[in-house]
Chain A
Amino acid sequence: MKHSPWRGAAVAVVAVVTVLPMLPVVLWAVAGAWRYPALLPPELSTRGLRLLLGDGVLAALGTSVLVSTSVALLACLVGLPAGRALGLHRFRGRRLVQFLLLAPIIVPPLAVTLGLQVFFIRYGLADTVAGVVLVQLVPTVPYAASLLAAAHADLDTDHEQAARVLGAGPVATLRHVSLPLLRPALVTAFLLTFLISWSEYVLTLLVGGGRVTTLPLLLFSAIESSDRTAAAALGLLVVAPPVLLVLALTRVAGRDVAWMGVSRA
């Protein structure tokens, strides 16, 4: 089968079926009036794409970038030391720690956030960007920690020891030896957690109370309205960054990209 002419056709079929569900989103985003039962839009329009330049969308884009960047940075800052402990050291209770760190993947974040919401309100974190960033650490830290633990397990600590022997302090060693060695994993962890945060809807809605308007919140209300063109255009704006990032990353990073699949966006 490897060299038959059917092979190319079969690959094409798989590729088409893979992306087929996204086709209506693209079509509706650029469609003008498109009545049933026309199979393709009889006229194209830039109305949907122009809607993306409105103030509301640009503000939501800014909020989304702010929230997701903060979440990704914090998740990596929290995950890096935890990854070091888990990847480099064998200690009593290591399995328990690993289990705890994976708990947010099994226990739904929505359930835990419902229980905590009253405290977010009490401490003034409800309806704020800070509160939304904090709650989004729940679904992101496990991935950052696991990914960086795997990277540390592969880390050759001889380099660090050589630096220390040559007189470098702990900070200089971290900066000039460890971090450069861990850079691929750190980049992947940052992008992965950024993507999880970028796609997050229900936690943002619950803690942000509708005041912290990220792109997914706008998209959700657009889908509920009957304006398909507006919803499809917003959908393209929400889907483009993660897909482009992952496609770019698949080319540079190797094994770590498998983690992208594990993220439950």
Chain B
Amino acid sequence: MSPRLRIALLLAPALLVVGVFVVGGVLQAVLQSLGFAPVVGESQWSLDAYRRVLADPAVHASLLLTARVSLISTAAAAVLGTALALLVRRLGGRRRLAVLFHGTLAVPHLVGALAIGLLLAPSGLLSRAAYRLGLVDSVQDVPALTQDAFGWGIIAEYTWKETFFVAVVALAALGRRVSDLEDVASTLGASRWQRLREVTLPVLAPPVAAASVLVLAFVTASYEVPRLLGRPYPTTLSVEAFQRYRDIDLTSRPEAMALAVLVALLTTLAALAYLRLVGGLARRSL
């Protein structure tokens, strides 16, 4: 067997899965958003679904909420995760804390949404603690942190889970090599602040940026957390797409596909922006 054929055969099953499901799925979503009706019905090609979706105030509100929730959660997780990694490194005992972080990472987001709901809901644990401390007099005084218009509950869930993801990635990057570089910097007379700004953070930037892109793509597209911790209206783009897909009115199907394409486009743009950024970073360091 020729080596090329061998490699092709080895790759065939994985490429089949990705080709059929991912490439095929995106292609189908695009085609169906343009009016293609496979299996049943007549295909009527048009851009109507996109026109309807882009003119819909519900979609505008959804776009705003999706952008707000995903950008705030990602930024918070990146900053807090990096700070946490640096703190844990200074504290020592990082092995045991890292085990704890990994345990938190393994918590499914569905359970995370349950936990944050029980913590932040008007009659949740936090509100009870506030009552005990005399900060509120009754459950009516508690500001809404779940099912709220801003999306605080959703942001809280993602920030909690993803901070530890970023922290784990950053801790993995803070190895011996970084300590050596920092030692060299202090020998050369760098202050603690200079060491952080000129040595530690530049080393952490690429892995933390990569992790942040994964977080951003995930948060932008995820379904169960905004569905459970957010309001029915406005809701995030993925939830909106799913609901339109499930609508009894079949004319909503192309709109659901248009929204799915929009979500895929947004996450892909985030990844491309990242690749450009990394290219820029690599060039600058040369």
Tell whether A pairs with B.
yes
A223 and B40 alpha carbons, distance in the complex (Å): 36
Check if A89 is an interface residue, CB within 8 A of chain B.
Answer: yes
A28-B118, A115-B27, A261-B105 given; A105·B217 CB < 8 A? yes
Which A residues, 76 to 105, have Cβ-Cβ distances below 8 Å to chain B? 77-79, 81-82, 84-86, 89, 91, 97, 100-101, 103-105
Query: CB-CB contacts of B258-277 with A at 8 A, as 1s and 0s?
Result: 00110110011011000000
With A106-B271, A121-B39 known as contacts, the answer to whether A111 contacts B139 (CB < 8 A) is: no
B223 touches A18 (CB 8 A): no
User: Shortest distance in angstroms between A101's beta carbon and chain B's nearest beta carbon?
Assistant: 6
A138 touches B21 (CB 8 A): yes
Distance from B101 Cβ to chain A, minimum over Cβ atoms (Å) = 7
How many A-B residue pairs lie within 8 Å, measured between CB atoms? 282
B13 partner residues in chain A, CB cutoff 8 A: 77-78, 81-82
Cβ-based interface call for A178 (8 A): no
Docked-complex contact B128 and A114, CB < 8 angstroms: no
* B125 lies within 8 A of A24 (CB): yes
Q: Which residues of A (133-162) have their CB < 8 Å from a CB of B? A: 134-135, 137-138, 141-142, 145
With A7-B92, A118-B39 as known contacts, state yes or no: A141 contacts B14, CB within 8 Å. yes
Provide the A227-265 mask, 1 if CB < 8 A to any CB of B, else 0: 010011001001100110111001100000110111111
Query: Which B residues between 128 and 182 are near A, CB-CB below 8 angstroms?
Result: 128-129, 131-132, 139, 160, 164-165, 168-169, 172
Interface contact B128-A112, CB-CB below 8 Å: no
| Max count, chain B CB within 10 A of own CB: residue among A28, A199, A251 | A199
B39 cross-chain contacts in A, Cβ below 8 A: 118-119, 121-122
Closest CB-CB distance, B1 to chain A, in whole Å?
A: 11
Q: Across the interface, do B264 and A118 meet the contact criterion of CB distance under 8 Å?
A: no
Task: Indicate with 1 or 0, residue by residue over B92-109, a CB within 8 angstroms of chain A CB atoms.
Answer: 110011111111111111
Which bucket holds chain B's interface residue count?
35 or more
Q: Does B26 contact A (CB under 8 A)?
A: yes
Contact B17 A138 (CB under 8 A): yes
Q: Is A165 an interface residue (CB 8 A)?
A: no
Instruction: Flag the segment in B4-12, B44-52, B53-61, B193-201 that touches A.
Output: B4-12
**A220 contact from B3, B26, B110, Cβ within 8 A:** B110
- Given known A115-B260, A242-B107, contact A223–B228 (CB-CB < 8 A): yes
For B228, give its contact among A10, A100, A224, A246 (CB under 8 Å).
Answer: A224
A39 sits at the interface (CB 8 A):
yes
- A108 close to B217 (CB less than 8 A): yes
B87 interfacial by beta-carbon distance below 8 Å: yes
When distances are taken between beta carbons in the complex, the residues of chain A under 8 Å from B38 are: 118-119, 122
Contact of A79 among B14, B111, B118, B222 (CB under 8 A): B14
A25 at the interface (CB under 8 A from B): yes
Chain A nearest CB, measured from B171 CB (Å): 9
A50 near B: Cβ within 8 Å? no
Query: What distance in Å separates the Cβ of B62 from its nearest Cβ neighbour in chain A?
Result: 15
Option from A1, A21, A224, A258 in Cβ contact (under 8 Å) with B172? A258
Binary contact track A1-12/B, C-beta < 8 Å → 1, others 0: 110000100110
Assess whether B116 is interfacial by the CB under 8 Å rule. yes
Residues from chain B with a CB closer than 8 A to the CB of A198 are: 108
Q: Say which one of B71-79, B184-192, B238-246, B278-286 lies at the interface with A.
A: B238-246
CB neighbours (8 Å) of B105 from chain A are 246, 260-261, 263, 265
Task: Pick the residue among A27, A85, A100, A247 that contacts B99 (CB under 8 A).
Answer: A247
A116 lies within 8 A of B25 (CB): yes
Tell me which of B26, B101, B123 contacts A115 (CB under 8 A).
B26
A224 cross-chain contacts in B, Cβ below 8 A: 228
In chain A, what residue has the closest Cβ to B246? A206
| Residue of B10, B107, B125 touching A84 (CB-CB under 8 A) | B10
Residue picked from A78, A122, A250, A261, most chain B C-beta under 10 Å:
A261
| Complex A-B, nearest 9 residue pairs according to Cβ-Cβ distance, in ascending order | A112-B25, A108-B221, A115-B29, A115-B28, A199-B108, A82-B14, A24-B118, A111-B260, A85-B10
Q: A residues bordering B, Cβ < 8 Å?
A: 1-2, 7, 10-11, 14-15, 18-25, 27-28, 36-39, 77-79, 81-82, 84-86, 89, 91, 97, 100-101, 103-108, 110-119, 121-122, 134-135, 137-138, 141-142, 145, 195, 198-199, 201-202, 206, 216, 219-220, 223-224, 228, 231-232, 235, 238-239, 242-243, 245-247, 250-251, 257-258, 260-265
Query: Can you list 8 A-B contacts (CB < 8 A)?
Result: A36-B139, A37-B127, A79-B14, A91-B3, A106-B270, A115-B257, A232-B118, A265-B109
Q: Given A37-B128, A39-B129, A110-B260, output 9 extra A-B contacts at Cβ < 8 Å.
A: A81-B14, A100-B19, A106-B270, A110-B238, A110-B263, A116-B25, A223-B114, A231-B114, A261-B164
